[in-house]
């Protein structure tokens, strides 16, 4: 289409995440427009706001709730006490989730979207498969009970942030979010992004991101913008905001410092805490607190540890070792506490 001199509007997030720079260059070479607003956050003009309204900002981080399906599931679990399976079934009935929800609940949809957002915020085209993605399928209703005791909630966060070495750290994962954060109040199928800048400060943008009608609004808005430009005799729009690109440079995995939530489900027996604490100590991890909600059976006993800040690779190694303990009823669940401004 571009080679034939046709303007192009697409809502295909995978296409833009993997081939966005190439398509951008082709559209400029052909002198035609490329509209991509529908690729991220549906009917909410996030990309336009970043590319145009915040063009003078120097971003240090972008944190997003970028998938309406997973956010609907998590907030139903939190507010109504639904199980993951119940909330997923309801999301499918309402048209938020596909019959096969893997793309959404495993974080792959959000990974494409944060790759596009990182292009516009940081001028780096990051290979999508190099962004680690973790889904929400292991979150249980009990995790919200513990999160509330800690004055937090749980959201699937797609993040991109600069590190001191000018590398980008990127991820998609469920995280513990402070209840005071704007992202903690993004409910249902709504999407939200927190943009952190060191010039104009922080900007939060929320809006509809799931469903045909919001996507249609974004696609038609691109068509209208292109039509206006044609009438005015304007040049083609640079959809990603850059002509020259920096080489993508990702921070090494596991090097960031974080505090963590660690939920264990065990078969009750003496010495459990001592064994777990011994492993954490060997990996130079300090415990901040231990929490335990009443359980219905001693055969399936959940308890939570919160861990003081340490390098993520230390926690990963410790959790891998804890998972081999014979008294665990299921694998450990670890979530970082989000460092949000």
From the number of C-beta atoms within 10 Å of its C-beta (0-12, 13-18, 19+), residue 5 rates as exposed
Whether 113 sits among the annotated catalytic residues: the reply is yes
**10-14 CB contacts, 8 Å cutoff, 24+ apart:** 10/34, 10/35, 10/36, 10/38, 10/39, 11/38, 11/39, 11/215, 11/218, 11/219, 12/39, 13/39, 13/40, 13/109, 13/112, 13/113, 13/116, 14/112, 14/128
Q: Which residues neighbour 306 within 8 Å (Cβ) at sequence distance 6 or greater?
A: 150, 259, 260, 261, 262, 287, 288, 289, 291, 337
Q: Which residues neighbour 325 within 8 Å (Cβ) at sequence distance 6 or greater?
A: 275, 276
Angstrom distance (rounded) from CA 277 to CA 269:
15
Tokens for 43, please give them.
């009917």
Pairing of strands 34-35, 8-9: parallel
Q: Which one, of 232, 24, 235, lies nearest residue 8 by Cα? A: 24
Angstrom distance (rounded) from CA 145 to CA 335:
15
- Bridge partners of residue 59, in order along the sequence: 197
- Catalytic-labelled residue, pool 113, 166, 298, 299: 113
* CA geometry: angle 265, 268, 274, nearest 5 deg: 85
- Residues marked active site are found at 113
């Amino acid at each position: 289409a571009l080679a034939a001199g046709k303007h192009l509007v697409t809502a295909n997030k995978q296409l833009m995440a993997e081939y966005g720079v190439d398509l951008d260059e082709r559209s400029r070479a052909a002198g035609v427009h490329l509209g991509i607003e529908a690729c991220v956050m549906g009917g909410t003009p996030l990309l336009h706001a970043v590319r145009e309204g915040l063009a003078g900002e120097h971003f240090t981080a972008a944190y997003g709730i970028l998938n309406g399906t997973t956010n609907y599931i998590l907030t139903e679990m939190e507010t109504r006490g639904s199980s993951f399976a119940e909330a997923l079934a309801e999301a499918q009935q309402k048209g938020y989730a596909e019959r096969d929800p893997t793309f959404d609940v495993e974080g792959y949809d959000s990974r494409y979207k944060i790759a596009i957002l990182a292009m516009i915020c940081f001028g780096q085209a990051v290979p999508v498969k190099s962004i680690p993605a973790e889904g929400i399928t292991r979150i249980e209703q009990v995790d919200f009970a513990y999160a509330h005791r800690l004055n937090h909630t749980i959201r699937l966060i797609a993040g991109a942030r600069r590190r001191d070495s000018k590398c980008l750290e990127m991820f998609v994962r469920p995280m513990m979010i402070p209840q005071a954060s704007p992202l903690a109040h993004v409910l249902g199928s709504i999407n939200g992004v927190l943009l952190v800048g060191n010039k104009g400060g922080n900007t939060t943008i929320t809006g509809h991101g799931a469903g045909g009608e919001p996507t249609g609004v974004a696609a038609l808005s691109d068509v209208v913008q292109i039509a206006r430009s044609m009438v005015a005799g304007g040049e083609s729009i640079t959809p990603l905001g850059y002509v020259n690109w920096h080489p993508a440079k990702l921070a090494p995995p596991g090097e960031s410092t974080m505090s963590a939530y660690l939920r264990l489900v065990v078969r009750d027996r003496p010495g459990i805490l001592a064994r777990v604490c011994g492993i954490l100590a060997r990996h130079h991890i300090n415990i901040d607190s231990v929490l335990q909600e009443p359980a219905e059976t001693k055969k399936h006993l959940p308890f939570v540890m919160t861990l003081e800040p340490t390098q993520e690779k230390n926690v990963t190694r410790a959790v891998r070792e804890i998972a081999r303990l014979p008294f665990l009823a299921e694998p450990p669940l670890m979530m970082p506490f989000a460092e949000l401004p």
